[in-house]
Structure 1
Amino acid sequence: MRELVILSYSSIATPSHNHHHHNHNPIKPFKPNTTAKLSPSKPPQPQPQPPPPPLSTLNSPSPLLSSRHTLHLTYYANLASKLAEQGKLQDFAMIAETVIVSGADASQFVSALSVELVAKGISVGLREGKVRSVIEVLRKVEQLGVAPLKLFDGSTMELLGNEFYRIVQCGKVEEVVGFMEILAGFRFSIKELLKSSDIIRACVDKRNPKLAIRYACILPYGHILFSTIIHEFGKKGDLVSALTAYEASKQHLTGPNMYVYRTIIDVCGLCGDFMKSRYIYEDLLKQKITPNIYVFNSLMNVNAHDLSYILHVHKNMRNLGVMEDMASYNILLKACCLAGRVDLAQDIYMEVQHLESRGVLKLDVFTYSTIVKVFADAKLWQMALHIKEDMLSAGVAPNTIAWSSLIRACANAGLVERAIQLFDEMLLAGCEPNTQCCNILLDACVETCQFDRAFRLFQSWMGGRVLETIGECNINLNAEHGVKNCSTSVPTGISTSRHLNYPRKFPFTPTTATYNILMKACGTDYYRAKALMNEMKVVGLSPNHISWSILIDVCGGSGNVEDAIRIFRYMLGAGIQPDVIAYTTAIKVCVESENLKLAFSLFEEMKNYQIRPNMVTYNTLLRARSRYGSLDEVQQCLSVYQDMRRAGYKPNDYYLEELIEEWCEGVIQDNNQNKEEFSSCNKSYLGRPQSLLLEKIAMHLQKSNSESLTIDLKGLSKVEARIVVLAVLRMFKENYHTHGHSVKDDILITLGVSKAVTDPATHNFEVKSAIIKLLQDELGLEVLLAGPRNALNKKKNSESLLESDLSFEQLTQRKSLLTELEISTRRPDVVQRLKVTRKSLQYWLQRRLGAIRR
């Protein structure tokens, strides 16, 4: 059949006619293949039809030729229609293309074309999956001047949509978008072919925002679709793709779209990049675009953790003439709750009440619930109950969140009876508590050491469903450990004759958190806690990190440290990687059992596994010792202290400073000498936000004997300076006694920067006197005044050179004279230094060693 329809200028000769006189060879008659069946219902013609004239002559002005050519175009139109009907769409396209390129009058071809047969052929092609061929046919038909939509009815359109869906499911979404772009040019209704969500979801799965943008641009409601694209990428955590779609929306949309702005800001919150939301907001203001209330609310909600920024945005909102709605005030209250600003929350609540009295706003249950939570977190239970009365007076029924916050307010204050009373009121009001609410009540009992009550509450909520299971688990556990007549035969401690009766039963489904709370209620009863963990597995729950950590703590609390560490190691076998809570619990067990070597080993292990210690971890290690016995112990704790500082935590330095001071004072044999003057009980320097003393000690103790022996006392008080000097001397002493390291050079002590005319009664003079007294009188070391050094690195003049040669008394007298002459402002700053001779240090170390041996 292909041989019949290939027509071109090179293959079609001009036929011989009587009124034309050319010397061309006559063309052979065109004989179609009589064996080819165009239609199974029509037998072949008994005689071949005469060939049509070449298409190059179909535009002849002769009326006779026009008539004959029309007949032949009709022939080709019928032939093309038959081919299309049989699903031979490529052959149909070839004939149509030949008519187009020949320059013939396509309207005659089109008028003879059977649209019904072509549409039928398109349906056949779609059923066979020939979408590309169908698109090519539509392209040729459109070039002929026929609207492609005329070839489609409802069923054909449905077939096309189904085929597109199949291609998308195969992962070829880009191919479908390309087809849709072509069909959009044919005025097809793209939105009816396939659900927009299917295309966008496929683009999001492929992380291809540009393809999603292409699709949005071919739809009439692209302004809505852009927001959907941004949101879908945001749900996947792909902020980069969401921002790509946002930037594209600004180029394709005709004007500001607040819905798009609000969506991209919400997505910044979903992806945790609140700073990007601020940049978007600032960009809107630069473009003189005033956000609406919904954009402002989204911005404040995303940045709710930063109260100062929220108040700044709220002020800008008012300046721009955008009035708050109830959601705005709810977000402000939420920010106050997160910041712990009860006072500001009260002011906002009073403002909202005033607006409600004027009929401007109407407080909703979310407002009341948020303000209740503010008071609950601050343990102001009475004020929280007062808000409850306001709710009831306003005709607003508390929801589950409000009731839970009220119960938490009393629970945080240790008022278990009041919390249980509120729980009963909640049930009477017809509000069904969720598991979180029940867990709050159980935790309140555990925190107040009412363990038996917690178990009885749990049993009353579960009915009799769990008692048999618990007993069975316990029997197996007792058999496993060979326990007879154990007091934990009913691990929950429930008396079957003592059930709490509630006014209305409610469905209660315990969670892992529920069992974790009950495990804490086991105290030091390891078998009871283990039975609860087994019960979790029976009811289909999986123990988490907290469950294992509690079990480790319970086991360690019973004195069984070996088994506690074994449980810690068993976590990996259970498929749970120990986290910071598990490590901290194991470290705590080791510290309580005075196995400090293992505790510090676990600390190093968790850091090797890239698990960041928390505040509890650091404090547990820093308070592990009540005294220091060696240099290694001091260096170890100081290393933990510095690591804690670098991690951003602010420890209380008082405890560590006391222990280090006690260790340092051990250098002096007679601890009673001058003890009162430097007693720890009367130090004004303790409790600084950042302890310069500990940093100085850590810096000096990290040096080895081969390094420059310089002690820096700048910025320290006389008590602090004493401790630093003693710490270095203690280090020398232990290194000498343990490793035989001797002192190889003099020790230089830098006292601080001062004017050459400083009064002897000033701060630096006090430090100098205290250190000289310590070294000479208490330790018997030889101390000399080292020459001053220009602190500003200026050229020394003759006067400063002269000072370096004066004795201590002469230097003091000269400074007083210069002060009287008031020329201190013209003198350079100098660094005052003391020198402890190597010879005296070596003798002191040998003497100390001899005293120890004796």
Structure 2
Amino acid sequence: MLRRSRHFLPPRPRRRPRPRREAPAAEPPTPTYTRDVVRRVDAILRGHPWSAARPLLLSLPGLAWDSHTVARVLKAHPPLHKAFLFFRLAAGAGGGFRHDRFTYTSMLHLLGEAGRVPAMMRLLAEMLRAGVDPDAATFTTVMHWLAHAGDVDAAMRVWEEMRARKGKCRPTLVSYTACVKILFDAGRPAEAREVFQEMVAEGLRPSCKTYTVLIEHLANVGKFEATMEIMDKMQEAGVEPDKALCNILVQKCSRAGETSVMTRILQYMKENFIVLRRPIFLEALEALKANGESDNLLREVNPHLAFEGIECDPAFTDLGYITVRSTILYLLASRNWSAVEHMINEMTPKNIKVESHILSDIIQASCANCRPSCGLAVLRYSLRIGNELDRSAYGSLLGHYIRNGSFDLVFEIVEILIKSGCNLGTYLSSILIIKLACAGHSSTAVRIFGLLTTDKNVVTYTALMSAYFQDGKVDKALQLFLQMSANGVSACPGTYEVLIHGLQMAGRKQESEHYRRERMEMQWHLQYRNEHSPEDSLCNHLFCDFHG
């Protein structure tokens, strides 16, 4: 058989090489953003005492000890004491970091905002000794807070120091605006005009904030026509009045009764879709009513307030109350505790009343943010005006001071509350005694028990017995048990649980067995009763499983 020639066979297809399977690429590491690191640092500073926060900060992954990160943390407004300790920690954390003008300015602002002006000036002197040249923002910050504290002369000395450093530090538009406002507020308008003219001569173009300072001063001295001329000039210069300026002008016109100027401002607001804040809307409405003028334009400018029954609601007739309430709610939302505390202290002698639930919210929020001084100011204010707050607010304030070890202050607060006629309630009183006993301050617990009047029942007696046992005062605990029986307060299973456990821990087993039999006899009689008092139920809930 003839073989077929290889030339006549079809060519074999070439095998394509199989593609090699590459190993799956490793996922890129998740980037660490500065905002997340700042949020974690702020949470640590707010939620931990410094002794625990310091090691957490030093071991926090992604925390770069540089100027940008440190300044961002300080601008998050952590509690002042911890912010200053963090500021000091950053300088010694290693890596060769040194504070610059940005971190110094942020810390100076925190100290000034908290009213710590001497500390602010000491830090400024330290900054100069360290060879860090202040910039315009640093001088402006110091100048602002000195004037805010009432020392205008010192603020102007800082201004002159900044002007003397023109080679290194040139005043900015913000610096000039702050200086003009300081001088206007201090009643020195001639000097303010000189500073403004110097600003224009330097080639700086006034901003809307600068014009707002000028217009507010003219409105304060009653020159409302001049305010409108300034508004026209600023629009010719290409600077449009903003919402803040319009609100300020409408408020000033309302209080002065200048409804004709107010109408012109409202017309501008209508054309530019600017609305009023609610308290200022109410003041403008009252001013138009007093002058017998129509409020149609006012309602057109503020359609969100046009159909509210403001006229029929007597709660809104007190404009001072409305302004105070709105301001407090705004400061509470922005967590500006220093401003809230200052405002409450200013309101106290004026007897301006605020709803109890708002005051309770302030106390709980300030304690949660480690600012108990604000909560304490609110408590004293509420007692002065006769407002009884929620027990949760009292508990937040007392709990914060217990955790911080301020037991004398705890007793002072409880004493003030009870003498003012505030009823702490059985639960809060007993929890307070228990917590003080656990902290080793049974003497303070005894003093608080002595203050109680209506809440001396089986729960508080049992709580004090537990405090005596924890302090090793077994005889006093037994004496208190006999006193409770003599006063007609019947024991419950929770009371016997504390009594038996305390005697066992003290090694007095014979007495422990005696009370164990007494408890069994009591329980045998209780099995035929279907109802228990609320005090017995609470006592059993607190103490039957208290010792495990």
CA radius of gyration, larger in: 1
The answer to which structure has the higher helix fraction is 2
Q: Which has the higher contact order (CA 8 A, sep 6+)?
A: 2
Q: TM-score, normalised by structure 1?
A: 0.33
Normalised by the length of structure 2, the TM-score is: 0.49
